[in-house]
Structure 1
């Protein structure tokens, strides 16, 4: 019998009990999670491949456009196949068009939205006077911590 704590064991534990897990068990739990994630991704890719192999050609033939929903009969089953639209805009072309709109006296904000950002690496390499001008627009938020363990 092993004293190894498993992911299944965590299901019935309180946070207090989880915090009492010996430190040498924590990297084992991380390994278990990595293995589960890998297995999930592998299985998910394969199930998607099965659907694509069985139904993609039929769905493409039935669909009137490149995107949309079609239903395929397969015995007692109706298979719903949805291909969603994902739009990507060419930023250089948009910038040109919006400049023309502004030159004609219209407000480009009425037609498009922009989300400006400054790469952190760039910001950190700027001279101090330039960084100071941008400080008021910069907010640093903490992300969820991640932990890695290494035996010493």
Structure 2
């Protein structure tokens, strides 16, 4: 275990807050040759799952269909902590981060897709939350559900 995971773990409450608040995350899938493929994504955290939406075709979709194991990371840098004596190597960062290990699946159920897409609208464009989602967009948008197997987080201040 990393040193800071032992000394600065985020509480469950702080982890839930971080996952709900941060605007972007990074989704890591595995390519066919076993190399990682990391994609920056918009996401929502709902019912202890992470939902990502996007085009119904592409490398991350192919990777998830082939191998459901994924990683997901969010990070919030809050400030640079400069050394009082001006030593560049003693500069640090105030931050919070969360690392998820999970299993990803494409959501087929239309009601679950609609719920996830509605949560995306509420998070990113709350002024449009009252506008109904067009049925063709719900059907045509890929929604990925990440079921969390392990969730860890740390902070430094």
Tell me if TM exceeds 0.5.
Answer: no
TM-score (norm 1): 0.17
Larger CA Rg, structure 1 vs 2 = 1
TM-score between both structures, scaled by the size of structure 2: 0.17
**Larger strand share, 1 or 2:** 2
- Give the structure with the higher percent helix: 1
